[in-house]
């Protein structure tokens, strides 16, 4: 039986080498194929798994030590609980995947009421994700913002909005007032899920303007949650880059001009500056072809000015 001391340093170097080479190759290919920065792709794919990878190092060393000390029976004694932990991790992963699919299903059910808005929430979520990454927010925060953006219009499933969303013409003042309650309805629904309570305020305030002229609470400046300010950008950009009955989708140049025009009025000026100066700004225009949106699709004040 081998009883010599384990070469801990070489083992650690071997583990780190494998992790670095493997993640670099895989994420490098992804970055090239999707035309993204390698650093951002690597962070997205590895940071959440990093604790598990770090924890696996001492477990590997312990398993090797048990094998050299007690043979196969010693290694088997550790392997059994490891298999249990693996199954627990797999179950948690499957649960997270199921939760995400349920969120997607709920959003799809809402958008099914109006085929013109199909994919809107998912595009806004993607926009918000890219913007949050451009701002340099940590991966866990980016994920929560992405979920909040996906659910920002979930309140529109309420029956009071059905006839308005299906109306072919322009809205009356009363109908506008009703539509402006949808962030509150969205908040009410999201707050019923305990695991989503941290994004409730982000959902409620996604129509607040930087200068305080938004709704439902008229918040201004830094009082508006950062996530809500990011969703405002993602929501407005998707509205501007979607065809409407009365105009074609705006170009990247036209969108840039509108963001500059309403900087400090509707939009957070700091976020606006960082976004417009980023090379990743073009990613917000690389989604699949946008669907046409009807007159009744609720849009930020910016869009009212654009097509006035």
Domain boundaries, the chain: 1-70, 99-306
Work out the pLDDT band at 293, boundaries 50, 70, 90: very low
What does pLDDT average to over the chain? 81
> How far is residue 60's CA from residue 14's CA, in Å, rounded to a whole number?
12
* Burial classification of residue 291, based on how many CB atoms lie within 10 Å of its CB (0-12 exposed, 13-18 middle, 19 or more buried): middle
| Between residues 126 and 36, the one the model is more confident about | 126
pLDDT in tens, 169-204: 788 999 999 999 999 999 998 898 888 889 999 999
Provide the pLDDT for residue 303: 44
Q: Which CATH class is domain 99-306?
A: mainly alpha
Provide the pLDDT for residue 69: 78
The pLDDT of 33-52, averaged and rounded, is 77
What is the value of pTM for the model shown?
Answer: 0.69
| Between residues 236 and 47, the one the model is more confident about | 236
- Annotated catalytic sites, by residue? 156
> Given a cut of 60, is residue 209 above it in pLDDT?
yes
Provide the pLDDT for residue 1: 42
> Given a cut of 60, is residue 264 above it in pLDDT?
yes
> How far is residue 114's CA from residue 111's CA, in Å, rounded to a whole number?
5
> If you count them, how many residues does the chain have?
308
């Amino acid at each position: 039986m081998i009883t010599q001391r384990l070469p801990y340093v070489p083992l650690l170097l071997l583990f780190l080498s494998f992790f670095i080479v493997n993640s670099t190759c895989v994420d490098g290919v992804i970055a090239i194929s999707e035309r993204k920065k390698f650093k951002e792709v690597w962070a997205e794919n590895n940071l959440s798994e990093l604790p598990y990878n770090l924890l696996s190092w001492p477990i590997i060393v312990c398993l090797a030590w048990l094998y050299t000390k007690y043979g196969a029976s010693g290694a088997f004694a550790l392997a059994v609980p490891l298999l249990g932990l693996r199954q627990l991790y797999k179950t948690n992963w499957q649960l997270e995947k199921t939760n995400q699919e349920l969120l997607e299903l709920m959003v799809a059910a809402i958008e099914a009421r109006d085929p013109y808005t199909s994919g809107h929430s998912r595009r806004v979520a993607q926009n918000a994700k890219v913007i949050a990454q451009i701002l340099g927010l940590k991966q866990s925060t980016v994920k929560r913002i992405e979920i909040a953006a996906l659910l920002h219009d979930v309140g529109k499933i309420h029956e009071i909005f059905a006839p308005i969303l299906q109306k072919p013409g322009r809205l009356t003042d009363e109908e506008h007032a009703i539509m402006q309650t949808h962030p509150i309805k969205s908040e009410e629904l999201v707050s019923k899920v305990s695991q989503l309570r941290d994004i409730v305020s982000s959902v409620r305030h996604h129509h607040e303007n930087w200068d305080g002229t938004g709704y439902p609470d008229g918040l201004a400046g830094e009082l508006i949650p950062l996530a809500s300010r990011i969703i405002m950008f993602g929501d407005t950009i998707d509205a501007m880059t979607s065809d409407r009955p009365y105009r074609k989708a705006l170009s990247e140049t036209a969108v840039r001009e509108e963001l500059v025009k309403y900087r400090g009025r509707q939009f957070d000026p700091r976020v606006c500056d960082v976004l417009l100066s980023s090379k990743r700004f073009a990613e917000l225009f690389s989604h699949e072809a946008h669907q046409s949106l009807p007159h009744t699709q609720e849009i930020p004040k910016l869009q009212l000015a654009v097509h006035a």
